[in-house]
Structure 1
Amino acid sequence: MYSNFKEQAIEYVKQAVNEDHAGNYAKAFPLYMNALEYFKTHLKYEKNPKIKEAITQKFTEYLRRAEEIRAVLDDGGPGPAQNGDAAVATRPKTKPKDGGGEGGDGEDPEQAKLRAGLNSAIIREKPNVKWNDVAGLESAKQALQEAVILPVKFPQFFTGKRRPWRAFLLYGPPGTGKSYLAKAVATEADSTFFSVSSSDLVSKWMGESEKLVSSLFQMARESAPSIIFIDEIDSLCGQRGEGNESEASRRIKTELLVQMQGVGHNDQKVLVLAATNTPYALDQAIRRRFDKRIYIPLPDLKARQHMFKVHLGDTPHNLTESDFESLARKTEGFSGSDISVCVKDVLFEPVRKTQDAMFFFQTPNGMWMPCGPKQQGAVQITMQELAGQGLAGKILPPPISKTDFDKVLARQRPTVSKADLEVHERFTREFGEEG
C-alpha cells in the first residue's frame, strides 16, 4: 500500500517539473505541494534507511524549489529565473528527458527511483583529508594526481595519444590506508565523487542490480569530471563460474565490465577507483579493466613516524623527535590502522592516570594535575573529591609521555600476518606495481 504514496509523489513531481520548465508557476506550485505531501506520508512507512535518506534529500530539494516559486508568485513576478544559480541548483534531476510523452511514462519513475537510491552515494561534503595527511605511498599519490588532478587543471597536457588513466585498483592488507587515499582524492579533486559499497548496488529485485550499475555510470557521465569509488570490490566481482556465485552477481559483473569498457560513451572524464584486501579473489576480466593496479603496502619507518605525529595532533605531550623514531622502530609490521588504534588507546592513558591518582598539585594558572606524593605542593585528594568541591572544570590530565606508549605497545600486536603479506607481494610480482 505505502509504495503507492511514492509512485503518486513521483507522478506529481513529473507534472510539476513539466509546468515549472514551461514557466507555468501557478500550476507547478500546487503540484509540488501535492508531491511533498505524498513523500511525507511515504517517509512515515519507509524502513530502508538508504531510501529514506535519498527521499529526504529529494523532499528538501523540491521544497526549496516550491518556496522559490511561492516567493515569486507572492511578488506577482513572472517566476524564478530559469538560468539563475538557485534555479539550476534546485532543478530536480528526475525531470523527464522528452517532456514526459506517453511513451516515457513507465520509464521515468523507475529511473527516478534508481537515482534516488544512488543519490546517497554522492559525497557532497569534502572529507577534508589532504595529500600531506597520507603518510608515504608517494608513487600511489603521484599516479592518482596524474589521473585525477592534471586532466581537470591542465587539459592541454592530454592531447594526441596521451590519455589520463581511467581505472585504478588499490590493493593491499587491511588497514593500510586504501580508503583513506580515496578520501584524499575526494578532497583534492575538483570532481563529483561517488562512493559506493556493494550493498548500494545489490538489490533483492531481479534485474535491478545491473540497472543500478548502469544508472551509477550514467550519473557519473552526466556530472563529469567524476570519480566512482567502489570499496571492497571483491564482494561484487569474485571469480566467475565459482560454485557459490549467484545469477545476480554474475549479471552485476557483466554490467560492470560493459560500463567500464565504456563502449559508445565518452568516458574520458570518468575515473573508476576500487579497493580490495583480496586481489586474487577478483575476476580476471575485471582485473584487466584496471589499467593501474597499485600495491598499498604496510607503512615504512618514516611513514609510521609521521602517523604517530598526525594521530597525536595537538594533544599535549612531551615526546621528542627521537621518541617518535623509537616508536616507529618498535612498530615494524603495524598497519596504519594498528597505529591509529594504538594512539587512540594512548590518548586515554592520562585520563586513566587522573582517575586513579591519589595526589594532585595546583599549577600556576589554577588547574589541578595528578602527581606523585613527593611532588612539591602535592595534596592528598582524589578526582571525585576535587569534583565534589566544585573544581571539576579545573582538573587537567597530564601530557602524554613515552611511557604511556610503552605501556600500550606492550599489549598490542600487529593485525597483518606474514602469510597475508606474502599473498599481496606475490600478486604485485604477477600483476601489480609498488605503491
Structure 2
Amino acid sequence: VQMQLPGAPAVAPSVKRGGAAQPNVKELLERQQALSARLEAHLREVRAKAARKVGVTNASDNAGQSAEEEKEDLSKLKAELRATRVEVTQLGRKARFEDVIGLDRAKEAIREAILWPAMANPGLFSGVRSGPKGLLLYGPPGCGKTMLARAAAVELEEDASFFHVRPGDVMSKFYGESQRRVQALEEVVREAAPAVVFLDEVDSLLGSRDAGGVAEHHRSTTNALLAWMDGFGTGEERIFFLGATNRAEAIDEAALRRFGEAVEVGSPSLEARIALVRHLLSKAKQDGHRAELSDQDLQVVGDKMNGFSLADVDRMVRKAFLQVLRELPDLRGVGPADVPPVTLKHFQSAMDASSGTSALREMLRRRADTRSSL
C-alpha cells in the first residue's frame, strides 16, 4: 500500500528484484528534499507569526519587508522600549539618598559619577575631572543595589532621564532580534539624553562570551551592548551606564573594562543595621505606630541581625510590628492608639521565627555554588 502526502511528489512504484520490492532511491531522496523544504518554510512562517504577535519581527524576515513596513516595526519597537524609562511618579516609595542607610562608598561613587555631572555644570566634569562612563554595583541579593539606582532616579528627576533595563527588555529567542532591540534602545536613550541606563541583572545581559554553551545570538547581543557602551554612535550625548549584579564573576571581561569602576554593595555593618532600624522606627512613628526601644535594646537587635541584608532588616522591623497584633484577642474595633508599642521582645520573637528565611538563603547559596562548579 502506498500513501501520498499532500504537496509531496508522487513516489514511483517500487521495483521488484528477486521477488522483493526495492525502493526507488532517487525518488525517495527527492521526496525527502521536498518535505524538508516544506517543513523549513512552515517553521519560518510560525516564527514570523509568533514575532508579530508581540509586536516585533524576526530579523531574518526583514528582507521581505518594504521600507515603510520596516520603519513601522522599528517605531513599534521603540515605543515598547520607551517603557523602560522610569518616571519618578511611578516610584511608589520615593526614597532619596538620605533614606539609604549605610552604603556610603557606593553613594559617593554614584554622586560623583552621575549626580554631580548631571545636576551641576557639566563643563566642570571634563578633561582631568571626567569620570568613568559606567559604574558597576555588585554584591549579594537584598543589600541595596536596586534601591540605590531608584534613589539616583529620584535625585535626578528633572536633570536627566533614567532607564531601567532588565534582560527581558532586550533579550529575544529569535535570531537577530536582540541586536535590533539593542539598536532601538540606543536610539530611544539618545533621544532622551542626558540619560542614565541602569542595566539590572547585568550578568545575564553581558555574560562571559568564553563560557561553554553560550548561544551565538547571546554572544551577538553582548557584542552589540559592548559597542554601544564603547561610545560608537553616541556622539557627544551624555549617557552613563549603571549596572547591578549578584554574580560579578560571570560578567564578560570586556564589559568589566567598559564600566570603568566597580563598587561592592555588601551586607551592612553593625552600625548600619542599627541606623537602619532607628530610621525605620522613626518613619513608623510618623505613621502613628509606637515603639519603645532603648539604645541597649537597639544594640541587641543589631547584634542578632548579624549577616542580614538591608532587605532582611526591613522585613524584621515589619514583622516586629505585626508581632504586637498577635497579642490582641480581637482586632475588630481596635484603633492605632489601642495597639501596644513594639519592644525588644517583639523583635526577638520576629527574628526567632525567621529561621526559615536563613535556611532559604543557605539553600540558595548552596545551589549557586553547585551551578558555578558545573
**Offset from partner CA, 1:11-58 (integer Å, 9 cap, x none):** xxxxxxxxxxxxxxxxxxxxxxxxxxxxxxxxxxx986xx7xxxxxxx
1:274 matches 2:251: no
Whole-Å separation in 2 of the counterparts to 1:259 and 1:274:
14
Query: How far does residue 220 in structure 1 lie from its aligned partner after superposition?
Result: 1.4
Q: 1:160 aligns with which of 127, 131, 135?
A: 127
Q: 2:210 aligns with which of 238, 241, 245?
A: 241
Q: Tell me: higher relative CO, structure 1 or 2? Use CA pairs within 8 A at least 6 residues apart.
A: 2
1:201 matches 2:170: yes
| Partner in structure 2 of residue 122 of structure 1 | 85
| Partner in structure 2 of residue 254 of structure 1 | 223
Query: How far does residue 393 in structure 1 lie from its aligned partner after superposition?
Result: 5.7
Relative distance call for 1:161 and 1:107 in structure 2 (3 A) is farther
**Offset from partner CA, 1:96-151 (integer Å, 9 cap, x none):** xxxxxxx8523421221111221221111253111111111112111111111211
Query: How far does residue 289 in structure 1 lie from its aligned partner after superposition?
Result: 1.0
Equivalent runs, 1:21-40 vs 2, <5 Å: none
SS at match of 2:127: coil
Whole-Å separation in 1 of the counterparts to 2:117 and 2:155:
13
| Partner in structure 2 of residue 317 of structure 1 | 291
Relative distance call for 1:394 and 1:293 in structure 2 (3 A) is closer
Whole-Å separation in 1 of the counterparts to 2:335 and 2:276:
31
Query: How far does residue 155 in structure 1 lie from its aligned partner after superposition?
Result: 1.6
Relative distance call for 1:155 and 1:412 in structure 2 (3 A) is same
Whole-Å separation in 2 of the counterparts to 1:47 and 1:109:
15
Query: How far does residue 306 in structure 1 lie from its aligned partner after superposition?
Result: 1.7
The question of whether the paired residues in 1 share the 8 Å contact of 2:274 and 2:299 is answered with yes
1:135 matches 2:77: no
| Partner in structure 1 of residue 29 of structure 2 | none
1:151 matches 2:78: no
Whole-Å separation in 2 of the counterparts to 1:228 and 1:159:
20
Whole-Å separation in 2 of the counterparts to 1:149 and 1:395:
42
Aligned AA for 1:117? Answer: E
Query: How far does residue 262 in structure 1 lie from its aligned partner after superposition?
Result: 0.9
Whole-Å separation in 2 of the counterparts to 1:316 and 1:123:
34
Q: 1:113 aligns with which of 76, 91, 98?
A: 76
The question of whether the paired residues in 2 share the 8 Å contact of 1:227 and 1:270 is answered with yes
SS at match of 1:123: coil
Whole-Å separation in 2 of the counterparts to 1:185 and 1:145:
8
Give unpaired runs (5+ residues) of structure 1: 1-45, 52-102, 358-382, 424-435
How many pairs were matched up?
293
**Offset from partner CA, 1:345-378 (integer Å, 9 cap, x none):** 2121111111xx3xxxxxxxxxxxxxxxxxxxxx
Whole-Å separation in 2 of the counterparts to 1:175 and 1:198:
19
Relative distance call for 1:328 and 1:47 in structure 2 (3 A) is farther
**Offset from partner CA, 1:231-290 (integer Å, 9 cap, x none):** 111122222133321122111101001100012422551111110001111111111111
SS at match of 2:348: helix
| Partner in structure 1 of residue 136 of structure 2 | 169
SS at match of 1:309: helix
Range with bigger deviation, 199-208 or 175-184: 199-208
Aligned AA for 1:129? Answer: A
SS at match of 2:129: coil
| Partner in structure 2 of residue 329 of structure 1 | 303
SS at match of 1:288: helix
Percent identity between the aligned chains?
32
Q: CA RMSD in A?
A: 2.8
Range with bigger deviation, 227-236 or 317-326: 317-326
Aligned AA for 2:347? Answer: F
The question of whether the paired residues in 1 share the 8 Å contact of 2:82 and 2:188 is answered with no
Aligned AA for 2:77? Answer: L
Query: Which structure's CA Rg is the greater one?
Result: 2
Range with bigger deviation, 331-340 or 303-312: 303-312
- Please report the TM-score for the alignment, with normalisation by the length of structure 1: 0.62
Whole-Å separation in 1 of the counterparts to 2:229 and 2:336:
59
Give unpaired runs (5+ residues) of structure 2: 1-51, 56-65, 369-374
| Partner in structure 2 of residue 216 of structure 1 | 185
Q: 1:410 aligns with which of 352, 358, 373?
A: 352
Whole-Å separation in 2 of the counterparts to 1:255 and 1:225:
21
Query: How far does residue 344 in structure 1 lie from its aligned partner after superposition?
Result: 2.2
- Please report the TM-score for the alignment, with normalisation by the length of structure 2: 0.72
Whole-Å separation in 2 of the counterparts to 1:330 and 1:350:
19
Whole-Å separation in 2 of the counterparts to 1:209 and 1:267:
25
The question of whether the paired residues in 1 share the 8 Å contact of 2:96 and 2:154 is answered with yes
The question of whether the paired residues in 2 share the 8 Å contact of 1:137 and 1:296 is answered with yes
Whole-Å separation in 2 of the counterparts to 1:47 and 1:329:
54
Whole-Å separation in 2 of the counterparts to 1:139 and 1:270:
22
Query: How far does residue 294 in structure 1 lie from its aligned partner after superposition?
Result: 0.6
Query: How far does residue 416 in structure 1 lie from its aligned partner after superposition?
Result: 5.8
The question of whether the paired residues in 2 share the 8 Å contact of 1:171 and 1:275 is answered with yes
Q: 2:341 aligns with which of 396, 399, 405?
A: 399
